[in-house]
Each structure stands twice: as structure tokens, then as C-alpha cells.
Amino acid sequence: MEELLYQALETELGGVQVYATAIRCAQEDELKEEWTKYHEQTQNHVRIVKNIFEQLGLNLDKETPGRIIVRMKGQALVKAMESALEAGEPDAAQIVAAECVVDAETKDHMNWELIGMLAEKSHGDERKVLKEAHEQVEDEEDEHLYHTMGWTRELWIKALGLPAVIPPPEEEKDVKTAIGAARAKQERSKMLGSRGGQRKKAAAK
């Protein structure tokens, strides 16, 4: 359990840096707004994890091999985005950032899923502390991962010169589950049709 919590803390700390850099790469206003919100939420997740440490009497500064690896991966994501920014192709840098956020959030999402499972199996104070923390972040982690996955897919589709749904269906449908994400993805062609129709109507006016 301790190892998971140390990795969760490091994931959230890295996440703050990942979002700070990703925001600089965002070209679409709605995406920039979304990542700014997630950046703030991630800063709050750091506080929530630190609170778990305090409640359970764990040392925040203890290094574990797993924690160091998580930190290195976070730093690598930041470096990748900085290189993309330097390359001077804003649309490409935006896609790199979206992929980096998905990488970071895949780990973040899984950490919290595991913390939730652990809470169910725990007793006493530990159960209470883990459950409270989990309830506070669960929905936000779903949104961080599924919405950014949607953005990444649609930005790639746009880059390929194919009709993209921007903002992505995951956003419009406020997806918070893996099943919801799969459904939103399935409905994208329908959404393309209706948005195209709206555009045509607007053009006719």
C-alpha cells in the first residue's frame, strides 16, 4: 500500500508540471481552458494525497525506487513537450502535449482505481482516510483521462485532414466511464453529421 501511495504522490506532483507545460502547447481555446482546470484540480490532488500521508503517519520525503521511476517519467514527458515547442510547429506540439497528458493520466487514473479498491478492503482509520480521498478525486480522474483521450484522437484526425469533432464527443457528453468513452467515440460520426448540418444551415442564413 505504501508503495502505491508514494507513486500516487509522485504522479500528482509530476502531473502539475505536465499540465503547466501542456497549457503552453494548447492551441484550441477550449483545450487550454480544460487543461487549466485540470491543472488546478491536480494541485488539489497533491494536497489530498499529502493529507493521506499525514493521516496515516507516512513520511512524505521518503524515496522509493518506484517513486523515482514515476518522477523520471514525468520529467521525460515535460521534456518531450518542450522539445515539441522548440520545433516550432504549434499544431504538432499540441498533439504531443495531448499524448503526454494521456500518458500521465493513464497512471494517475489507475493509481486512484487501486486506492479505491484498497479502501474497500481496508478497515478503521485507513479505510476512512482512503475512501474520503478517493471520493474527492474519482470523477475528476475519469474526466482527465477520457476527455483528453478524445482530444488526442480528434486532433490527430484533424491533422490527417479528415473531419474532426472539436471539442470531442467525450467533452460534449461529459463522459466519466470507460463505457461512456466507447459510446462517445461510436457516436462521433453522428455528431459530425449534425454539426455539418448546423454549419450548412448557418451558411444558408
Shortest Å distance, C-beta 11 to Fe ion = 7
Shortest Å distance, C-beta 146 to Fe ion = 11
Q: Are 47 and 55 in contact (CB under 8 A)?
A: no
Shortest Å distance, C-beta 15 to Fe ion = 6
Nearer residue to Fe ion within complex by CB, 67 or 144: 144
Shortest Å distance, C-beta 132 to Fe ion = 15
Give the number of other CB atoms < 10 A from CB of residue 57. 7
Nearer residue to Fe ion within complex by CB, 114 or 192: 114
Helix, strand or coil, per DSSP, at residue 176: coil
Q: Which one-letter DSSP state was computed for residue 63?
A: -
Site residues (CB under 5 A) for Fe ion?
A: 42, 45, 105, 108, 141, 144
Shortest Å distance, C-beta 129 to Fe ion = 17
Q: Are 18 and 104 in contact (CB under 8 A)?
A: yes
Strands of 137-201 (E only): list them.
Answer: none
Nearer residue to Fe ion within complex by CB, 34 or 108: 108
Nearer residue to Fe ion within complex by CB, 145 or 184: 145
CA–CA–CA angle 100, 103, 104 (5° rounding) = 90
- For residue 198, what are the CA distances in angstroms to 23, 155, 170, 184, 191? 30, 21, 19, 19, 10
Nearer residue to Fe ion within complex by CB, 105 or 154: 105
